[in-house]
Amino acid sequence: MASEIKSDKLSPSTGTALQIGDASDTITIPTGATFTITDGLGVAGGGTGLTSFTAGDVLYATGSTTLAKLAKGTAEQVLAMNSGATAPDWGSVDLTVLPTITVGKGGTNLTSFTAGDVLYATGATTLAKLAKGSAADVLTMNTGATAPEWAAAAGGGCWTLISTTTASADATIDFTTLSSDYIDFMLVGSGITAATNVSFPRVRYYVSSSIVTATDYQWSCRAYDVENQGGQTMDAGSKNDSTIQLIDPYNASAPTALGNTAGYNMNFTYYVSDVHSTSLWKNSWFWTSVVLGGSTPSQGQTANYFGGGLYDQTSALTGLQFYLSAGNVALGKISLYGRKIT
């Protein structure tokens, strides 16, 4: 039979223990009622033993029947054990203790690299690193076709751009290093203008790092121009000339050559072979396209010259020089190319 008891306080009849109901009874606290445990519900009773929390607190055990709260950490901190391994605490990630991540987990399983290293697979779950090669090396497969390796670029007669010089009122354009990686060299000039009218483009060589001005050169060429509408064999430069000249003056008493009128310019290609040989004379050939200045009616005409030159010494060449017979090279670009032969 239901009954209602109203009281401000229930106390045990003896001792300090008060039991409410029996093991099979259901104790109900109606919705809206407040049930207050002043000292909190202990862990042994299924509670925390704590009476309040702050947002972000983390609970952890300090004993078999005791819980404590750890205040939240700062941004990007991680939860780890303290130095005594007795309780968790917040701290920054110690990168020195992170494990090396294997390939199977999306890593490389490598701990360091040198600038230029190339990664390659040595197996389904293994990566290795190949150190960078030397300048102009190419990546190729080794003889066993098992791994990549660096090797010198194959020759095959291919031309390689070595360097380009932009002229700006220069007395000479010099290329003083002819690498032993190449056997033949080529100068390609474009948009070259002269500071002085009627200037003859010329080439000389360096031997042992000194320019050769002795009479050890020969040259000859044939010209095709608008006025003559055909070829005319030009006089060969003196067998003991001190330079290789890339055009002929036509008429020594009234010469025509590269003009310096606005818009006038020249292009040329100059090829010399076997530059490092100490047993061969150095043969060369050239093609030159010039807008002429000088005497009329040739001034303002285009003329094309095809010819060759010879350095009649067996000394190895160490450099090439382009210059004009009068005045500076005002503007233009000259590039040096090399050709490997394997």
Q: How distant, in Å, are the alpha carbons of 4, 227, 243, 333 from that of 203?
A: 124, 27, 6, 15
pLDDT at 228: 57
Cα–Cα distance, 299 to 252 (Å, whole number): 15
| DSSP for residue 315 | P
User: Whole-model pTM?
Assistant: 0.58
pLDDT at 35: 72
**Domain map (residue ranges) of the chain:** 77-153, 159-339
Q: Which of 120-124, 142-146, 316-320 has the highest mean pLDDT?
A: 316-320
Beta bridge partners of 205: 320
Cα–Cα distance, 334 to 173 (Å, whole number): 8
pLDDT, tens digit (0-9, with 9 covering 90-100), for 167-200: 999 999 999 999 998 999 999 999 999 999 999 9
pLDDT at 254: 76
pLDDT, tens digit (0-9, with 9 covering 90-100), for 28-81: 878 888 777 776 677 776 777 787 889 988 888 888 888 888 899 898 888 888
Whether 236 shows a pLDDT value over 70: the answer reads no
pLDDT at 318: 97
Whether 249 shows a pLDDT value over 80: the answer reads no
pLDDT at 107: 87
What is the rounded average pLDDT for all residues in the chain?
Answer: 87
Q: Are 40 and 51 in contact (CB under 8 A)?
A: yes
Please indicate whether residue 102 or residue 29 has the higher confidence score (pLDDT). Answer: 102
Cα–Cα distance, 185 to 177 (Å, whole number): 11
